[in-house]
Amino acid sequence: MTAPLPDHALDQLFRAARTANAWTPRPVSQAVLRDLYELAKWGPTSANVCPARFVFLTTPQAKARLSPHLSSANRAKTLDAPVTAIIAYDLDFAERTPELFPHNPGAKAWFADPEVAAVTAIRNGTLQGAYLMLAARALGLDCGPMSGFDHAAVDAEFFAGRRLATNFICNLGYASQADLFPRLPRLAFDDACELL
C-alpha cells in the first residue's frame, strides 16, 4: 500500500504551485532535463502507447527559431526562460507498439484507423505533457505552460518531414516572483463533479 504524500509535497505539486511568467537566471542542466524525462515517462498511457515527444530548447539559437511563431504576450517570457519544452505527439506512435506493448503483438492494428490514431495521440500526449509538468514540479522546477503560438509554423520549423504535431509549449526553470498573477479561483467540487 502507498501512503498519501505529505502536505508539503502536495503544496509543491498543486496547491502552492503557480504558472511562472518570469524567471531567475539560474540554469537548468541537461542532467536535470534527463531526470525530468526519466520521471515523467512512468505516467500511464492507453496500451502504453507513449505518443508524446519533447523538444527542449536550451540555447538562444533554438529559441530564436521558436520566437517568430509565439504570440507577442508569450515571446519575452519564453526567451527569458532557461528552457522551453515543445510538447508534441507522434501520429505514427503505433509503430512502436510491438516494443511498448510486447505481450500483445497485434495491438498495433488497434490504431490503423487514422482518426483513432489521432485521438489516441492527442489524448495520451496531453497526459504525458501533464506528467512532465508534475515531474518538473517534483524536481523543484517551475512551469509556464502556454497555448499562444502558431501550431502549423512551429510544426514546420521543428518537425518538417515527420508526423509530429505540437500540442503545447511549456517554459521550465526557477521562477521569479515578478509578474506573478494573483491566484485565480477554481470550480468547487459540486460545480465540477458528480457522485452517482
- How many angstroms separate the CA atoms of 129 and 62, rounded? 20
Q: Answer yes or no: is pLDDT of 101 > 80.
A: yes
- Does residue 15 form part of some domain? no
Mean pLDDT, the chain, rounded, equals 96
CATH number at residue 70: 3.40.109.10
Predicted confidence (pLDDT) per residue in 35-75, tens digit: 999 999 999 999 999 999 999 999 999 999 999 999 999 99
- Does residue 189 form part of some domain? no
Predicted confidence (pLDDT) per residue in 125-151, tens digit: 999 999 999 999 999 999 999 999 999
pTM over 0.85: yes
Range of the domain at 123: 21-174
In the chain, what percentage of residues exceed pLDDT 70? 99
**Mean pLDDT, rounded, for 82-97:** 98
**Mean pLDDT, rounded, for 83-106:** 96
Q: Answer yes or no: is pLDDT of 117 > 90.
A: yes
* Grid cell digits, residue 88: 508534441
- Does residue 196 form part of some domain? no
What band does 94 get if pLDDT is binned at 50, 70 and 90?
A: very high
- Angle at 155 (CA atoms; ends 115, 79), nearest 5 degrees: 135
- How many angstroms separate the CA atoms of 107 and 102, rounded? 9
Q: How many domains does the chain have?
A: 1
Residues 6+ apart with CB under 8 A from 125: 51, 52, 53, 87, 88, 89, 90, 167
Q: Answer yes or no: is pLDDT of 17 > 90.
A: yes
Predicted confidence (pLDDT) per residue in 153-173, tens digit: 999 999 999 999 999 999 999
- Does residue 2 form part of some domain? no
Q: How many CA atoms lie within 13 A of 146 on its CB side?
A: 23
- Does residue 180 form part of some domain? no
